[in-house]
Amino acid sequence: MDFYSIEDSHRVQQRAAQYRKRYPKFVSWAQGRGVVEHTDLTQVRVFDLCQELICAGRYNTLDDALAIFDAADTLTNAAMWLVAHMTYANKVDLSGQPLAANDFKENPQGHTGGSLNMVPTYIGYTAANSLAGITRSWLMGQGHCVAAISGRAIVKRWSCCA
């Protein structure tokens, strides 16, 4: 958790509101996707990072840089949905229709909590690589990492083919 003064908190709120008012693509990203939400502080930090990336010549416009963050949010939300289904359901319904009782596993198994933590972590790692234009090393450990990364990979393939 970040600890900052009330004055800083108000300034962060003001800055986030200014960015949302001025930049339509920023508004779209700031709203989040599904379970992915962004606090005012996150919004200000992402805006500042985008400005640094533009000044460094990595991106030409704010919209270009925000496209990576937007894609990461969409992918994270979908992969978390899939990870939950991998634990509890025998199948998924991509149309969004509710599953029937017999579509659920009698004895769900898995590392759901850890996997749900790893999904945004791994997608954040890949987004950071894309934003910076470099590839960092990634060492994954146990089963919850595998489920998270597999869920992300499957969703990415679906989105490429849809």
Angle between helices 143-161 and 112-132 (to 10 degrees): 60
Handedness of CA 50, 54, 59, 63 (dihedral sign): positive
From first to last of the 162 residues of the chain, give the pLDDT tens digit.
456 677 789 999 999 999 999 999 999 999 999 999 999 999 999 999 999 999 999 999 999 999 999 999 999 998 898 888 888 999 888 888 899 999 999 998 777 777 788 889 889 999 999 999 998 877 666 555 656 666 666 666 655 545
Sequence ranges of the domains in the chain: 6-161
Which 3 state secondary structure label does DSSP give 110?
A: coil
The angle at the Cα of 134, spanning 81 to 140, to the nearest 5 degrees, equals: 45
Cα–Cα distances (Å) from 117 to 80, 111, 140, in that order, read 9, 10, 13
Helix (H) or strand (E) holding 137: none
pTM: predicted TM-score of the whole model, two decimal places: 0.81
